[in-house]
Structure 1
Amino acid sequence: MTSVKEFRVAEPATASSLGRGRFVFTDAYSVFDWGQMPDDVPRKGASLCVMGAYNFEELAAAAVPTHYRGVVDPTAVDAGADPESAVVPLAEARTPPTEMAIELTQVPELPYRGPEAGYDYEAYHAAGGQHYLVPLEVVFRNTVPVGSSLRRRATPTDVGLEATEWPDEPVSLPEPIVEFSTKYEERDRYLSRAEADAIAGRADVASLEALARRVNRVVTDRAEATGFTHHDGKIECLYDEGELRVADVVGTFDENRFAWNGHGVSKEVVRQWYKRSDPTWVEAVSRAKRDVTDRDIDDWRTLCTETPEPLPDAVLDAVSTMYAAGANAYTERTWFDVPPIDEALQTVERVVGQ
């Protein structure tokens, strides 16, 4: 189980073949790598499933290989159908789905050998062989929004901008940039190209970058067609006997950052609320991530002295409506009975603050 998605395995992956299974999208959410937070955001799971499925089908139309098989039609399951027999294209789902059918690959254990030796990627790849999930996140950026980690790691001139300091508003990049970060380490870290190449195993880093750029183009084109601005996002990939396929989920408000008329539409809204309203916990998280560096353990959460506050009901409702209205607008189909995206974001600005 991940922090916000559950797995259902129909046929397990093996060393010689991919398996079959499903993601179950829950209403749980996670910020700052904490894992599952103390409350749920209603309709979030269905919203992400709808957007992810829509984007996978757009990628298929653009001949981008993925692990997507379809969505599970909730109406058919409610009528007694087995979920594996109720897999349909998104357009045939009669109500908002929460399950996505996918092909599965192997995810070997990544041993931690202590602060000096670090993680044993050789063991990971030895176990993965020719079928494994590449232990990287491939990040693409079209803009540098407020809150982007790039503002801490680079100067404007590093990315081709003619400025000495980062402005207080999102900045468009002259060309999209691609970065690599770790996937399964307890603390995400950005990598040099050489480090990413070593961690990728048999996967080719140049091919990973090219695939990320193709995905970025498809999502950016769809965003522009429906009134959104696509700031940044990421992909994860599986390696299947020499072929790379896009895995996990693509182009949702959790994996990517979007805006609508200058208003952020993504999980970043929740991150910023915690920074303003629960700074004690946010600082405790940062401190724990720093303090674990020289320890023999890699789980920084065991060192965190604080726990997050639940979101107030008004914030939960506003964020829930934002996810649902955004999915309606992006797919141009009324999946959820919620106000239009403009009205939903006005409520977010009033209740949550941006």
Structure 2
Amino acid sequence: MGSVKDLQVLKEPERDNLGLGRFIFSDRYSVFDYGEMPDKINGKGASLCLISAYFFERLEKENVANHYVGIVEGDKAKRLEELESPSNIMEVQLVRVIKPLKVNGYDYSPIKAEKANYLIPLEVIYRNVLPEGSSVFRRLEKGLITPEQLGLEGMPKPGQKLDKPIIEASTKLESEDRYITWEEAKEISGLSEEEIEELKSITMSVNEIITKVVSKVGIVNEDGKLEFAFDEKRRLMVVDAIGTPDECRFSFEGMQISKEVLRHYYRRTDWYRRVEALKGQPDWREKAGTPPRLPEELRMAVSEMYMACCNEITGIRFFDVDSLKEVVKKLKELMQVSA
């Protein structure tokens, strides 16, 4: 299915019927669109699976439609509080994935011809804070967007907390994701103006739910991404995974506790400089070469970070690790050593 999780299909989705499948969250990770990196992060898969399940169950309580069925233990889909031990397998309803045709760019007519039961070919990004390293600053610098297009009165500064969240769209089914205007998002997805507004409204609601939950344990929800699909009756539902340190950019006591920790490490390498120079060219991944492995202490600390996040966000001690506060303290020390 992808570089970090696999899909087991139990029942294929059909034009008029949802399918059924299982996401198997792995300990693999990916940064900079490279694909699978050379190390595994122990406990990451189960942590992300359980955090995502927690938020899907919260969405259900708030009547926000989604594709979650349960967490698999002993080949049975269970609710989070029924689990006897951590699991990295989530059962979900499946929709059809209809890909655009690649002809002089991308032709989305096969998707727009459909009425229901398909993945909407967009990623929807919400931003509550503009941290250093946010793609917003690169795009502003290159003139690809203006502050006004983002609803800002002037040029933002790194670390700026936004009065009102920014909601943007990017492509989902192209070889490389690209940010697009909402007009283009409407055009390629086959959504009506009303459905686009509903998409934005659901995104705001999910953002509020995630922000409220994580803030109780001292985590700041800086930004995140969501994916959507139409069910068999053309009702919008949230799909994929939500509210995890991979789908969101979380910070704790001023430090990123997401994949940004790993990005931060790799940005100092020659491999990353090759990636930046080659990205977008044919076979750029092969040309960039194999990424270096993580220092063992850093790999273990990042593993503890994911597991501590899971314990504290869900309120269930699934993993025997230190508190998030202690883990972040250790990570800060390690990052200073590797600086």
The TM-score with structure 1 as length reference comes to 0.88
Describe the SS at the equivalent of 1:291.
Answer: coil
Aligned with residue 249 of structure 1, among 241, 260, 267:
241
In the alignment, the residues of structure 2 paired with residue 229 and residue 220 of structure 1 have an alpha-carbon distance, to the nearest angstrom, of 7
Shift of residue 260, structure 1, vs aligned partner? 1.4
Q: 2:27 touches 2:43 (CA, 8 Å); kept in 1? A: yes
Choose from 178, 187, 193 the match for 2:182.
Answer: 193
Q: Secondary structure at the match of 1:245?
A: strand
Q: Which residue of 1 aligns with 2:71?
A: 71
Determine what percentage of the aligned residue pairs are the same residue: 40
Select 1:147's aligned residue among 122, 133, 139.
133
Q: Which amino acid aligns with 1:334?
A: R
2:106 aligned residue (101, 119, 125) = 119
Q: 2:99–2:173: 8 Å Cα contact kept in structure 1?
A: no
Tell me whether 1:89 sits opposite 2:79 in the alignment: yes
Partner of 1:296: none
Displacement of 1:129 in angstroms is 4.3
Between 312-321 and 193-202, report the one with greater CA deviation. 193-202
The equivalent residue for 1:313 is 296
Check 1:165–1:131 CA distance in 2 against 1; reply closer, same or farther (3 A cut).
closer
1:219 aligns with one of 210, 219, 230: 210
Partner of 1:295: none
Equivalent residue pairs, number: 329
Q: CA deviation at 1:259?
A: 1.3
1:343 to 310, 326, 333: 326
Contact 1:187 1:289 in 2 (8 A): no
Question: 2:167 maps to which residue?
Answer: 178
- What are the ranges of 5 or more consecutive residues in structure 2 without an aligned counterpart? none
Q: State the match for 1:261 in structure 2.
A: 253
Equivalent in 94, 102, 112 of residue 92 of structure 2: 102
The answer to whether 1:274 aligns with 2:266 is: yes
SS at match of 1:66: coil
Q: Which ranges in structure 1 are unaligned for 5 or more consecutive residues?
A: 78-82, 293-298
Tell me by how many angstroms 1:301 deviates: 3.0
Match of 1:80 in 2: none
Deviation string, structure 1 residues 172-207 (Cα, Å, up to 9, x no partner): 001011000011211211001111111112463222
Aligned pairs for 1:290-329 within 5 A: 290-292=280-282, 300-302=284-286, 304-329=287-312
Matches of residues 43-82 of structure 1 in structure 2 within 5 Å? 43-73=43-73, 77=74
In structure 2, distance between residues paired with 1:110 and 1:283: 31
1:161·1:174 contact (CA, 8 Å) conserved in 2?
Answer: no
Instruction: Please tell me the root mean square deviation across aligned C-alpha atoms, in Å.
Output: 1.9
Matched-pair contact (CA < 8 Å) for 1:27–1:42? yes
Please list the CA deviations of residues 15-63 of structure 1 after superposition, one character each: whole Å capped at 9, or x if unmatched.
1111011100110000011111111100000110110000001111111
- Give the direction of change, closer, same or farther, for the CA distance of 1:326–1:33 in structure 2 (3 Å limit): same
